[in-house]
Amino acid sequence: MHKPFARFLIRWLVCGLGLWIASAVLGKWVSIGNHVGVVLIGGLILAVINIVIKPIVVILSLPAVLLSLGLFMIIINGLMVYLASRLYTPLHVTNFGAAILVGMVIGLVNYLVTTILESQSNKQ
């Protein structure tokens, strides 16, 4: 799993899974319709945003991240989700607060998937 393309595919699937779970949990504020394609394309767009734009935003906001002891990363994750929803209109997030919650759900899913994958690689 050290290959860049495999890591990107995992990131893409984790973003899509996080969007799907967030739409199920936060259905009042997040809508993806009943289409698997919206989840896949939304996950792809979010993964690309996280690879290209997020590192730049993190570097530019490093003082805020350091002063908040990393809690500002929640705001940055929400900003990335909000940007993805604006770029891809079938993925609809009502407001920035909902985008922060979606970012938290995706972060939790990412943590769980990473933990499972690392425990599987340690067993081998």
Whole-number Å distance between alpha carbons of 45 and 111 = 20
pLDDT for position 117: 82
pLDDT for position 120: 79
Q: What is the pLDDT of residues 5-22, one digit of tens each?
A: 888 998 899 999 999 999
Question: Residue 92: what are its φ and ψ, rounded to 5°?
Answer: -110, 115
8 A C-beta contact, residue 61 and residue 26: no
Six-digit token string for 2? 């050290």
What DSSP designation does 44 have? H
Q: What is the pLDDT of residues 31-41, one digit of tens each?
A: 887 778 889 99
8 A C-beta contact, residue 102 and residue 39: no
Six-digit token string for 13? 């699937």
